[in-house]
Amino acid sequence: MERNNERENQAPSAKNVLVILGEGFEDAEACVLVSALRWTEYRPHLAEVNVVVTGLRPVVRGWFGTVYETDIALEDADPADYDAVVVPGGFKSRGYEELYDERVLSIVRAMNEQGKPIVTLCVGVFVIGEAGALEGRRATVYELSANKDNLACLRGYGAIPTHERVCVDGNLVSCTGPAASEEVAALLLDMLVGKEQAAEVERFRLGLGALP
C-alpha cells in the first residue's frame, strides 16, 4: 500500500495496453512483452503500464506450454480504454488464426483509426492485414514458414514488405519473430512513456541500476 500511495502522489498517469492472444501463440513473444511492460510497477515515480490480456477463451495456451488466463473477455475490451494493442504471433496448426475473428479485427481498426500503437510480432501482423490496416504500409514478418510465403501474404494485404528485423510505419510496429521481442518491448515502452522513462525501466529490469 505504501508503494501504491507513493505512485499515486508522484507518478504520471498510467498507460493501459491490451495484449490479444490466440490459441497456439508464440510463448516467448507474449512473455517478453508482458514481462517488460509490467516491470514499470517497480519504478513508482514513473508511469505504470497496466497490461490486460484478452483472447477468445478464458484460458489461452501457447505452443510451448505457457498458459495465460485472460483478464477480460474480448467483447468487453473497449479500444477507448487502451493506449496500445499488442498481437504476438502464433502457430496456425494450434488454432492461432482464431484471431481473425471480427471482434479482434474491430479492436484493431478502432485503435488504428485513433493512431494508437499497434505492435505485432511474427505472423501477428497478418491479424492487422485481416483488419484492412496494412494497405500501403511497410511491414516485416517471419520469413521461414514451411508452407507459406509470408512476404507474399504481406503483399496480398497491400503492404510493402521489408526484410527489417523490426519495422516501424507510423503507429504500426512489426518484427520478424521471437528473437526481436526484447527490442520490440523496449520500443513500445518508448512509445508509451518516452525515451528517458523507458531507458530507466529497461536498465532496472536488466539489473544495471538507474541512469546517472
Instruction: Give the residue numbers annotated as catalytic, written as ranges.
Output: 122
Three-state SS for 144?
coil
The b-or-e profile of 166-200 (16+ CB within 10 A means b, else e) is bbbbebbbbbbbbebbbebbbbbbbbbbeeebbbb
With a CB cutoff of 8 Å and minimum separation 6, the contacts of 212 are none
Look at the block and give the residue holding cell 529490469.
Answer: 205
Q: Which amino acid makes up residue 210?
A: A
Instruction: Supply the DSSP symbol for 174.
Output: E
Q: Contact, 102 vs 66, CB < 8 A?
A: no
Q: Which of 145, 106, 101 is nearest to 122 (CA)?
A: 145
- 54: helix, strand or coil: strand
Q: Which residues contact 50 (CB under 8 A, 6 or more apart)?
A: 14, 15, 16, 17
